[in-house]
Structure 1
Amino acid sequence: MYDYSAADDDEVTFRDGDVIVNAQSIDDGWMFGTVLRTGATGMLPANYVQMMMA
């Protein structure tokens, strides 16, 4: 839903419209996943993304 610039080494940067695969919830505010466009894997804020149905 929003662009996000990684603030730490274990986070990933992504843009609005990017697809995140293999997403797993870590806690209330964070997820772990892979940005399909870049191949980068790491943590991302859960409130910046939304689940899509295949």
Structure 2
Amino acid sequence: MDVNGVPGVVLMDPQERLSVVAFTVDGGRITAVDVIRNPDKPAAVPGDGASTPG
């Protein structure tokens, strides 16, 4: 899945709290990992919270 134009995953814990993880890739290597846990921001992410290949 793309997250703001970069590879990422959407995760949901048993309490249905959503997290979004985005990976910045440069030269085939992950150079940054951003995790969004703010409950207001991931609300706009489509899907059921299951991680999907990007």
Is the TM-score greater than 0.5? no
Q: Greater CA radius of gyration, 1 or 2?
A: 2
**What's the TM-score once normalised by structure 1's chain length?**
0.34
